């Protein structure tokens, strides 16, 4: 009788402990889920002071080329396509992105945006209504653009021909089509703080062009399986869409390939490799629609900066 009582007492205890654990587990699950939902709903971006400088259309038009805005936001494969009215397919591991219409159209573009809206989109990856942009839009590079350059870009786009055309919507696979998932991603992997690059030296100017404007690292930096940048800086990426490979382009790698600064300068002007062959893959567009428009001194600065990475 006494031992029977002991057994049922023990079973009761075990039951109580198991119950307690279940309660704790439920509490933990609820906390984690609430934190996840909290992150998805939390506002992103920083409250920065308004940009007070005014932009110059001509300088903005130059930047729209060399920063790749034209290349991504225009269907460059179609000669009759309107500039900035929406881009061609950007294939990625997560699905296909199509850069939207960023002409001055009020109905289909960004004609009704103010400079503040534009700054938030370009440097912080946040839309006027507070949602997060996909990092296929290289705001993680543009975050370091200066106030002046943001103002120039804005001036040029506002002066652009308005085009009332619907751009193609993204076609992304589940779960990547859920925009809310971007906020936890950013919290884990990304910062939109500016690198505040000092452009007073030639190497500094080169770094600004490589990192902030021409965003070379978007393809030449390695990434993890969730698309976040990982070291080594400019160490190459063999996971580009379509099995493409962007080689390492820091000075050490370039020297090993027997390139010198002049080779790199010429390469950025016409895509010709030191052996007389021409480059292929997505690098062709980077050059044809972007770096060919750089001044010689800017190309020299970029070469000098990349070669300084030994
Ligand atoms: C590598 C391709 C690429 C480049 C280069 C690029 N963009 Fe985009 N851009 C995108 C994609 C893709 C989106 C859509 C992101 C999304 O839906 O979350 C986008 C979105 C935008 C938006 C938001 C538009 C809207 O309606 O919400 C603006 C503004 C913009 N880009 C401006 C620019 C400017 C200015 C430049 C050059 C400094 C530029 N982009 C360069 C791909 C690109
Ligand atoms: C859209 C992705 C992308 C961007 C942005 C990009 N590259 Fe590349 N780059 C590539 C790919 C892909 C290759 C390999 C091309 C090939 O297969 O021939 C390459 C090759 C190169 C090479 C080596 C050529 C060779 O075959 O040895 C250099 C140097 C280079 N890129 C420099 C740059 C610089 C500098 C920038 C910034 C202005 C830049 N890239 C931006 C994708 C990119």
Judge if the beta carbon of residue 287 lies within 6 A of ligand 1: no
Instruction: Establish if 146 belongs to a structural domain.
Output: yes
Q: Do 55 and 169 lie in a common domain? A: yes
Domain that holds residue 108: 48-173
CATH of the domain at 217: 1.10.760
Q: Do 118 and 169 lie in a common domain? A: yes
Instruction: Establish if 191 belongs to a structural domain.
Output: no
Judge if the beta carbon of residue 167 lies within 6 A of ligand 2: no
Instruction: Establish if 246 belongs to a structural domain.
Output: yes
Q: Do 310 and 236 lie in a common domain? A: yes
Q: Do 53 and 138 lie in a common domain? A: yes
Q: Whose alpha carbon is nearest atom 27 of ligand 1? A: 127
Q: Do 84 and 150 lie in a common domain? A: yes
Judge if the beta carbon of residue 207 lies within 6 A of ligand 2: no
Alpha carbons within 13 A on the beta-carbon side of 74:
22
307's tokens: 């070669």
Instruction: Establish if 90 belongs to a structural domain.
Output: yes
The C-alpha atoms of residue 87 and residue 248 are separated, in whole angstroms, by 27
Q: Do 150 and 134 lie in a common domain? A: yes
Q: Do 125 and 22 lie in a common domain? A: no
Q: Do 162 and 52 lie in a common domain? A: yes
Question: Which of 173, 205, 240 is the endpoint of a domain?
Answer: 173
Instruction: Establish if 219 belongs to a structural domain.
Output: yes
Distance 100 CA to ligand 1 centre (A): 7
The C-alpha atoms of residue 60 and residue 102 are separated, in whole angstroms, by 14
Q: Do 102 and 139 lie in a common domain? A: yes
Number of folded domains that form the chain:
3
Each of the 310 residues of the chain gets a pLDDT tens digit; together they read: 455 567 677 777 777 877 888 888 888 888 888 887 877 777 788 888 999 999 999 999 999 999 999 999 999 999 999 999 999 999 988 999 999 999 999 999 999 999 999 999 999 999 999 999 999 999 999 999 999 999 999 999 999 999 999 999 999 999 999 998 999 899 889 999 999 999 999 999 999 999 999 999 999 999 998 889 999 999 999 988 777 899 999 999 999 999 999 999 999 999 999 999 999 999 999 999 999 999 999 999 999 999 999 9
pTM of the model: 0.91
The C-alpha atoms of residue 310 and residue 308 are separated, in whole angstroms, by 6
Neighbours of 260 (CB within 10 A): 12
Instruction: Establish if 162 belongs to a structural domain.
Output: yes
Q: Do 159 and 215 lie in a common domain? A: no
Distance 262 CA to ligand 1 centre (A): 32
């Amino acid at each position: 009788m006494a031992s029977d009582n002991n057994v049922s007492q023990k079973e009761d205890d075990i039951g109580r402990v198991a119950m307690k654990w279940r309660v704790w587990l439920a509490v933990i699950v609820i906390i984690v889920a609430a934190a996840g939902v909290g992150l998805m709903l939390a506002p992103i971006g920083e409250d920065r002071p308004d940009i007070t400088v005014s932009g110059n259309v001509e300088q903005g038009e130059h930047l729209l080329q060399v920063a790749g805005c034209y290349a991504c936001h225009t269907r460059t494969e179609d000669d009759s396509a309107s500039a900035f009215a929406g881009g061609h397919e950007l294939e990625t591991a997560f699905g296909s992105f199509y850069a939207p219409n960023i002409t001055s159209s009020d109905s289909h573009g960004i004609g009704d945006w103010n400079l503040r809206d534009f700054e938030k989109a370009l440097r912080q990856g946040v839309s006027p209504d507070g949602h997060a942009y996909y990092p296929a839009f290289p705001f993680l590079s543009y975050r370091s653009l200066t106030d002046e350059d943001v103002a120039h870009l804005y001036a040029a786009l506002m002066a652009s021909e308005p085009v009332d055309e619907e751009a193609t919507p993204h076609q992304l696979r589940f779960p990547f089509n859920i925009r809310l998932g971007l906020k936890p991603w950013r919290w884990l992997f990304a910062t939109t703080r500016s690198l505040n690059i000092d452009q007073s030296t030639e190497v500094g100017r080169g770094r600004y062009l490589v990192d902030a404007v021409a965003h070379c690292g978007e393809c030449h930096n390695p990434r993890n399986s969730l698309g976040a940048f990982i070291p080594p800086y400019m160490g190459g990426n063999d996971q580009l869409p379509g099995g493409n490979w962007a080689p390492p382009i820091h000075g050490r790698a370039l020297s090993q390939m027997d390139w010198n600064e002049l080779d790199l300068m010429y390469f950025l002007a016409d895509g010709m490799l030191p052996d007389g062959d021409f480059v292929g893959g997505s690098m062709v567009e980077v050059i044809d629609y972007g770096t060919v428009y750089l001044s010689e001194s800017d190309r020299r600065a970029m070469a000098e900066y990349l070669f300084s990475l030994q």
